[in-house]
């Protein structure tokens, strides 16, 4: 009987300390950002979706992105889910890797040969779009956004 009472006291103490000190008892630490990319010409290739939490490298250097996901295109669209995402300011940049060479192909002038897209459907003027035009607030819960791939 004393063992059961002691065990119960330890469980209550553990639960109380987690509540008092603000420790999370769940395994998730943030929300889900779902990015739906539409308007692909075909299902050929993969969509590379880069999530940036600052303007550094946006949109031309996906290796500098906060998170990056490569996903298949199905029925001329793709969906990227960024899970356990903390609240903050983010921007999304997408490119179509149609030939599966793991890079954004450009012509002599640096213009993408394959499809591209950015959050807020931001477009550049005489160059790539600015992070300030593509950024958005994420409250840490759940957000679904749709962006349209374009071919330049």
pLDDT tens digits, 101-133: 999 999 999 999 999 999 999 999 889 999 999
Q: For residue 46, what are the β-bridge partners? A: 72, 97
Q: What is the three-class DSSP state of 41?
A: coil
Phi, psi dihedral angles at 55 (to 5 degrees):
-80, -5
- Read out DSSP for 4-33? HHHHHHHHHHHHHHHHHTT---SS--SEEE
pLDDT tens digits, 33-88: 999 999 999 999 999 999 999 999 999 999 999 999 999 999 999 999 999 999 99
> At residue 134, does pLDDT exceed 90?
yes
- Read out DSSP for 122-149? ---SSSPPPHHHH-EEE-SSEEEEEEE-
* 15 vs 65: CA distance, rounded Å: 38
Q: Work out the widest C-alpha separation in the chain, in whole angstroms.
A: 81
* 152 vs 143: CA distance, rounded Å: 28
> At residue 27, does pLDDT exceed 90?
no
pTM score, two decimals?
0.80
Q: Calculate mean pLDDT across residues 90-111.
A: 95
> At residue 145, does pLDDT exceed 90?
yes
pLDDT of amino acid 28: 54
Question: Which domains are seen in the chain, by residue range?
Answer: 30-148 (2.60.40.10)
């Amino acid at each position: 009987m004393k063992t059961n009472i002691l065990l119960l006291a330890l469980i209550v103490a553990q639960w109380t300390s987690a509540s008092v000190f603000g420790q999370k008892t769940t395994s998730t630490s943030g929300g889900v950002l779902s990015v739906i990319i539409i308007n692909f010409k075909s299902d050929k290739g993969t969509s590379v979706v880069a999530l940036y939490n600052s303007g550094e490298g946006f949109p031309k250097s996906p290796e500098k992105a906060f998170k990056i996901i490569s996903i298949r295109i199905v029925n001329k669209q793709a969906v990227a889910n960024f899970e356990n995402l903390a609240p903050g300011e983010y921007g999304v940049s997408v490119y179509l890797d149609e030939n599966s060479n793991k890079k954004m192909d450009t012509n002599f002038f640096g213009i993408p040969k394959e499809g591209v897209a950015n959050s807020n459907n931001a477009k550049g003027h005489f160059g790539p779009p600015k992070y300030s035009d593509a950024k958005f607030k994420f409250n840490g819960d759940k957000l679904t956004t749709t962006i349209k791939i374009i071919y330049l």
